[in-house]
Structure 1
Amino acid sequence: MDPSSPKYYLEDNFDPNDLYDIYVGATADKKHMDELLLFPLKVIFSEVKSGRIKGSTLIDISFGPFIFHLLPLCKYFKDITVLEFNEPCLKVLQKWLNKDEDALDWSHAAKIAAELEGNSENWVEKEEDLRRCIKTILPCDFNKQNPTDPVVLAKADCVINLYVLGKISKDSDSYRQNLKIMSSMLKLGGRLLLIGAFKASHYKVSGEKYHVLNFNEEELRTMLKDCGFNIERMEVMESKIRSDVIYYHQMFYVCAVKIKEL
């Protein structure tokens, strides 16, 4: 690899704790927190409140050791499967599930989730509720015919993808292919919740620059349609972050219903 080329999430490991500290930990920069943690929590809570997403089973295919986006969902989905591509992040997720002493602290996110639900005193139970709902954490590889081989997963009522799709897709063709793989994990009529960034270039962990796919709203709408999805809701927020640590123009949230098998 060219030393000047960005690293790649599927091939180049990093310190998950550093990722947490920089972007979504309790001591992270406020602008990072507002956009990368608070925005997802707000839109997911709003989606749950709308009543559009239904069912009991959810598959989470997201970025890094993050679980905060599942806090508003565990009240409704009692059978959650978490899939992870990156081995160090997989280990950190398992530590959190096992309540290890050196596990990541998501209490700040639990407090926000509880406040959004109008029950700020209930934040202590939020993480425990989520732990009870997560039935398994599995390694995942989209290059395999069965990404969770040897485990065969039943199709879920809902699939959520926080940040990772743009990080594992090197171009628009691979983004489409990865969307199709996620669609194969979803029941017909089920919902895909997708959170990411438009016009992005990179993010950094431990000083190393990592790849993010650069695409826009029009391209995303086309790709979702091509992959058998109908967009029910899209929300776009302009980014206020201007730094060398992470760069993108907009955050987006999409709720799309699977209307056909491919």
Structure 2
Amino acid sequence: MSCEIRGRTLIDVGSGPTIYQLLSACDHFEEIVATDYLAVNREELARWARGEPGAFDWSPFIQHVCKIEGRGEPWQDKERRLRERLRRILPIDVHRPEPLGAPLRPPADALLSAFCLEAVSPDRAAFVRALAHVGNLLRPGGHALLLGALGESFYLAGPARLPVVPLQESDVREALAAAGFALRELRSYAMPPALRTGVDDVDGVFFAHAQKPLEA
């Protein structure tokens, strides 16, 4: 995450039951707001945040991130900091103009979303609308960090085969522009054959850094 992207509040759109995507972010924001459509995912996050027995053990992942960051920080310190800063876990529906049902107060300085919007959108037009809706959660000038799949049409969740809107890099560029974002950076990576597990048909992943324009 760029050193320019920091502030008071980060909102994670479509957190799922996971916290890996927040492990570096917790060093740059005072408050993290996690969100998910499914109550079962929100409940799992809340169990981890409270340190309840039986919650998923993220400690190997936290240790790995601390090793990558290379600051020599004890992983327990990062775990504690994330728990302290993960202050709200809210329901969200990205297909509503107000995804949280009401404006976020205060508006977020940054928005993070990993492998969410393309997985919950039936087509590219819905993907564009979802981008615009989540943009309502950002302050003017706020940053959006998106990680997503390229060329993916489905993924498997147990016995369920779930559809995904297949995107190309050009689709991401056009969608961000149509949703009113200014693109700052876009990178894409091909999926190595060794990582193709059969649970999806993804061709690659993209990382986008975009910004909500300042109000006139």
Structure 2 Cα separation of the partners of residues 222 and 151 of structure 1:
26
Alignment RMSD: 1.7
Match of 1:94 in 2: 46
Match of 2:206 in 1: 252
The percent of aligned pairs where both chains have the same amino acid is 28
Deviations, residues 59-95 of structure 1 (Å, cap 9, x unaligned): 1112421111111011110111111111211111111
- The 1:68/1:176 distance shift into structure 2, 3 A limit, reads same
Structure 1 Cα separation of the partners of residues 190 and 31 of structure 2:
34
Deviations, residues 225-249 of structure 1 (Å, cap 9, x unaligned): 1112122122211102333212200
Gaps of 5+ in 2: none
Shift of 1:191: 0.5
Q: Which has the higher helix share?
A: 1
Structure 1 Cα separation of the partners of residues 105 and 52 of structure 2:
27
Structure 1 Cα separation of the partners of residues 184 and 102 of structure 2:
34
The aligned length equals: 213
Counterpart secondary structure, 1:74: helix
Q: Which has the higher strand share?
A: 2
Q: In structure 2, which of residues 53, 59, 63 is the aligned counterpart of residue 107 of structure 1?
A: 59
Q: In structure 1, which of residues 234, 242, 246 is the aligned counterpart of residue 196 of structure 2?
A: 242
Structure 1 Cα separation of the partners of residues 180 and 208 of structure 2:
14
Q: What is the one-letter code of the residue matched to 1:80?
A: I
Counterpart secondary structure, 1:246: coil
Match of 1:223 in 2: 175
Match of 1:81 in 2: 33
Does the 8 Å CA contact 1:63/1:163 hold for their aligned counterparts? no
Does the 8 Å CA contact 1:61/1:160 hold for their aligned counterparts? yes
- The 1:196/1:62 distance shift into structure 2, 3 A limit, reads same
Q: In structure 2, which of residues 150, 155, 159 is the aligned counterpart of residue 203 of structure 1?
A: 155
Shift of 1:152: 4.7
Q: In structure 1, which of residues 54, 62, 83 is the aligned counterpart of residue 14 of structure 2?
A: 62
Structure 1 Cα separation of the partners of residues 169 and 96 of structure 2:
29
Deviations, residues 186-242 of structure 1 (Å, cap 9, x unaligned): 111111000011000211122321121101000110110111212212221110233
Q: What is the one-letter code of the residue matched to 2:202?
A: Y
Q: What is the one-letter code of the residue matched to 1:234?
A: L
- The 1:201/1:120 distance shift into structure 2, 3 A limit, reads farther
Q: What is the one-letter code of the residue matched to 1:167?
A: A
- The 1:81/1:110 distance shift into structure 2, 3 A limit, reads same
Structure 2 Cα separation of the partners of residues 171 and 146 of structure 1:
20
Match of 2:133 in 1: 181
TM-score, structure 1 length as denominator? 0.76
Shift of 1:135: 1.2
Shift of 1:119: 2.9
Counterpart secondary structure, 1:166: helix
Bigger Cα displacement from structure 2, 233-242 vs 220-229: 233-242
Structure 2 Cα separation of the partners of residues 232 and 67 of structure 1:
25
TM-score, structure 2 length as denominator? 0.91
